[in-house]
Chain A
Amino acid sequence: DQQVKQNSPSLSVQEGRISILNCDYTNSMFDYFLWYKKYPAEGPTFLISISSIKDKNEDGRFTVFLNKSAKHLSLHIVPSQPGDSAVYFCAASARVGAQKLVFGQGTRLTINP
């Protein structure tokens, strides 16, 4: 049972345009959501997060939107840059107990010049 799903394995976007990555979850106990970026042969690095008490969090070119009623979150990157080409993982956590992160399958983002 996949509790966190990223239904797009890959996404290709032109440099300077907006990249939108999507993520859906099923567990209502999740109350914290994160996006990680991963380059080949490296570990995932934290990008941006959002608590369930908010519906938007912005950090520079990156914005995460949360729609709790739809159990959906999205990551917007504006403007997209070649260095943004990577695999992006959505993750969710219930902030009680061990705070285990549950990850989606990942979306490979390619920014074309």
Chain B
Amino acid sequence: NAGVTQTPKFRVLKTGQSMTLLCAQDMNHEYMYWYRQDPGMGLRLIHYSVGEGTTAKGEVPDGYNVSRLKKQNFLLGLESAAPSQTSVYFCASIDSWGSPEAFFGQGTRLTVV
């Protein structure tokens, strides 16, 4: 059982480049989330989705876009990367009918130079 899988695991971008991070979960969870982790800041919510075709902004959404075209996938896009977006990104999912214990992917370490 793979759980939550993120691709890629590492990426280096130049300022102004774009990229998409992919999150896939095989647990049939309704809710999915993108967080970023920065030193001393904990995990901060970027965007989230409560179901296929729906997305909403979290705490730090600026500079990011998301899409949830399929229930199992949640994509995070950076249209024009900035050094401030250097971070570790985590995707998570929750079973909306059970306890809110989120399952996390292994993370994507992104460096913007």
Q: Which residues from A are CB-within-8-Å of B100? A: 32, 34, 93, 95, 99, 101
**Interface residue B103 (Cβ < 8 Å from any Cβ of A):** yes
Q: Is B43 an interface residue (CB 8 A)?
A: yes
Closest-CB distance, B113 to chain A (whole angstroms): 21
Q: Does A9 count as interface, using CB distance less than 8 angstroms? A: yes
Q: How far is the CA of A9 from the CA of B99 in the complex (A)?
A: 28
The answer to whether A46 and B102 touch across the interface, beta carbons within 8 angstroms, is yes
Any B CB within 8 A of the CB of A44: yes
A34 to B100, CA, bound (A): 9
Of the four ranges (under 10, 10 to 19, 20 to 34, 35 or more), the interface on chain A belongs to 20 to 34
Residues in A whose Cβ lies below 8 Å from that of B94? 99
Which partner residue on chain A sits nearest B38 by CB separation?
A105
- In the complex, which of the residues A34, A101, A102, A103 has the most CB atoms of chain B within 10 Å of its own CB atom? A101
Digit string of B46-59 for contact with A (CB within 8 Å is 1, else 0)?
A: 00101000001010
Asked if B101 and A100 sit within 8 Å, CB to CB, the answer is no
For the complex, give the distance between the alpha carbons of A43 and B103 in Å.
9
Main secondary structure of the interface of A (DSSP, over half): loop
Q: By DSSP majority rule, is chain B's interface helix, strand, loop, or mixed? A: strand
Most chain A C-beta atoms within 10 Å of own C-beta, residue among B40, B101, B105: B101
Check B101–A98 contact: CB distance below 8 A: no
The distance from the CB of A53 to the nearest CB of chain B, in whole angstroms, is 13
Establish whether residues B101 and A34, one from each chain, have CB atoms under 8 Å apart when the complex forms: yes
Closest Cβ–Cβ distance, residue A29 to chain B (whole Å): 13
Cβ–Cβ contact B56 & A98, under 8 A: yes
Cβ of B74 under 8 Å from chain A: no
Whether A89 lies near B107 (C-beta < 8 A) is no
CB–CB B107/A106 < 8 A: no
Return 8 A-B CB contacts under 8 Å, by A number: A36-B104, A43-B106, A95-B100, A97-B50, A100-B48, A101-B33, A102-B45, A104-B42
Nearest 7 Cβ contacts at the A-B interface: A43-B104, A103-B42, A103-B43, A99-B100, A105-B42, A93-B100, A46-B101
